[in-house]
């Protein structure tokens, strides 16, 4: 869905030291978007633009707040981002 290069560009990271961490965060972001959005792989593909933005936001939030992320706040934000897909409006 989102690549390491795309995510590093979004985060404005130009070094390789955090590649392993970022890849792990991409994985976590995908699972969170699927869970919060109540989507399977097919639904992710159908709603690609929205889910890509939600995933990039999630990776960014987790990367910047890796020592004290507020998962409740993150989940509420994802619910707002994914509302239309989550409720079957789109």
The whole domain housing 18 covers: 4-86
Q: What is the pLDDT of residue 80?
A: 92
pLDDT in tens, 18-63: 999 999 999 999 999 999 999 999 988 888 999 999 999 999 999 9
Q: Specify the pLDDT at position 12.
A: 97
pLDDT of residue 64: 96
- For residues 84 and 22, what is the distance between their CA atoms, to the nearest angstrom? 28
pLDDT at 89: 57
44-50 long-range contacts, Cβ below 8 Å, gap at least 24? 44/1, 47/85, 47/90, 48/1, 50/81, 50/82, 50/84, 50/85
Please state the domain count of the chain: 1
Q: Is the dihedral of CA 49, 53, 54, 55 positive or negative?
A: positive
């Amino acid at each position: 869905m989102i690549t390491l290069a795309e995510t590093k560009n979004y985060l404005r990271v130009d070094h390789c030291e955090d590649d392993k961490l970022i890849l792990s965060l991409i994985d976590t972001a995908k699972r969170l978007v699927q869970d919060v959005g109540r989507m399977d792989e097919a639904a992710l593909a159908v709603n690609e633009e929205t889910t890509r933005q939600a995933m990039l936001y999630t990776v960014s939030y987790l990367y910047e707040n890796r020592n004290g992320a507020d998962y409740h706040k993150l989940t509420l934000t994802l619910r707002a981002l994914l509302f239309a897909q989550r409720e079957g409006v789109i």
